[in-house]
Amino acid sequence: MSIRERMSGNEAAAYAIKQINPDVMPAFPITPSTEIPQMVSTFIANGEIDTEFIPVESEHSSMSATMGANAAGARALTATSSCGLAYMWELLYVAASDRLPVVLALVNRALTGPININCDHSDSMGARDSGWIQIYAENNQEAYDNLIQSFRIAEHPDVRLPLMTCQDGFIISHAVENIELIEDDKVKSFVGEYTPENYLLNPNMPMAVGPYANSPFYMETKMNQRLAMENAKKVILEVAEEFEQISGRKYSFFEEYKLEDADYAIVIIGSAAGTTKEAIDELREQGIKAGLLKIRVFRPFPDEAIVNALKHVKAMAIMDRAESFSACGGPIGSELKAALFDFNVKTIAVNYFYGIGGRDYTVNDAKAIYQDLINYVSGTADIENFKYIGLRK
């Protein structure tokens, strides 16, 4: 029987790490993810787990130590936010190209410029092309569940890629919600032991990790990463199906909310999906067929599945909580518009920017977006390429 508890997103992530009991966790504190390594180190000090905690002098060192431990044959993870992820930038690419299945608990926070400690997705979206799998949570329950599934996905022999689990800073990380925990023995059995075939400390198989690769070898590395990312799609679904058996909770690449018969859809990632669902419920009572597609897995991007789920709608708003300054819009907007084009779907698609730097996104904002879509379809408003929501006048 599941265990009912009240926890913040950071507490839920730390508890999942406790149940997984990884071999090594290096970490350096940064708001709003500081509580995760703080809580894990407390579990260690209390003798509840035997993870080796390594306090390091920077986030660059944190990822370096995580990679080194994993290359040596240990299950390893770390946690960070915002500028901490930026400080790891060089090593994100190294971890991916070295095919190290490390896990990063990322608490999303705006990157500095100007200084801001609130939530947006500029940190993880900036790292979207580094070769890491990216899975996002809407709430505390999903932050917990995603972490438990993460090592099974990353360590699969057909994948072997690093994975970051993302939760919205403060909105999820510090807010307390009711969640259901899984019993320790079930988690332990589900995650299993880490038994890599090749690792640096294996005396029977001498090997090098991260060698110099000049032009005759470099491209093949990238192609193999691409193949592994494609393999991850199948593995993510298989792990989710097995996770449902121990939790009763169903996961996929994305969640559909009243989308099946929707005329107007919002596509979104993270905690703002809950706000959008409230707006949908109100609009449905008025007879407006509004729906939602909440992306859970952004890397690998499940383009065909998303397009198939959306191709029947008359218009969609693609919501980005990060700027990319692209002529095509934000990270999600550019990606999904390209997918719609590739699969010859001519649905109206407008990219919206919202919640950047922690700006509020309200039920009324969501309802106004649906009204925009209605106006675009009826021809009473010109279709825009992208639009900012909640700007001060």
What amino acid occupies position 45?
A
Last residue of a domain, one of 219, 247, 275: 247
For residue 223, pLDDT over 80 is answered with yes
CATH of the domain at 151: 3.40.50.970
From 228, 247, 266, the end of a domain falls on 247
Say what the pLDDT of residue 1 is.
61
Q: Give Cβ neighbours of residue 196 (< 8 Å, ≥ 6 apart).
A: 73, 155
Q: Is residue 308 part of a domain?
A: yes
Q: Identify the three-state secondary structure at position 268.
A: strand
Clarify whether residues 295 and 229 are in a common domain: no
CA dist 285 and 40 (Å) reads 45
Q: Are 87 and 57 in contact (CB under 8 A)?
A: no
Q: What is the mean pLDDT of residues 148-172?
A: 98
Total count of residues recorded for the chain = 393
Q: How is 327-353 classified by DSSP, letter by letter?
A: TTBSHHHHHHHHHHHHTT---EEEEEE
Q: Is residue 226 located within the same domain as residue 83?
A: yes
Helix (H, G, I), strand (E, B) or coil at 25: strand
57 shares a domain with 199: yes
* Cis bond before residue 300 (omega within 30° of 0): yes
Last residue of a domain, one of 247, 271, 290: 247
Res. 2 pLDDT band, cuts 50 70 90? confident
Which band of pLDDT confidence, cut at 50, 70 and 90, is reported for residue 393? confident
Do both 273 and 242 map to the same domain? no
The pLDDT of 319-342, averaged and rounded, is 96
Give the DSSP letter string of 175-242.
-EEEEEEPPHHHHHHHH-----SS-TT-TTS---SS----HHHHHHHHHHHHHHHHHHHHHHHHHHHH
Which of residues 386 and 11 earns the better pLDDT score?
11
| Measured CA distances, 319 to 21, 83, 290 (Å) | 36, 23, 15
Whole-number mean pLDDT of the chain? Answer: 97
Q: What is the mean pLDDT of residues 65-71?
A: 98
Number of domains in the chain: 2
Average pLDDT estimate for 191-219:
92
Question: Tokens standing for 241?
Answer: 């199906």
Are residues 220 and 290 located together in one domain of the fold? no
pLDDT at position 206, please?
Answer: 87
pLDDT at residue 262, rounded to an integer: 98
40 has a pLDDT exceeding 70: yes
- What pLDDT is recorded for position 170? 98
Domain that holds residue 297: 254-388
- Does residue 197 carry a pLDDT above 80? yes
Give domain status of residue 341, yes or no: yes
CATH number at residue 381: 3.40.50.920
* pTM for this entry: 0.98
Domain membership of residue 393 (yes or no) is no
Using a pLDDT cut of 70, give the percent of the chain over it. 100
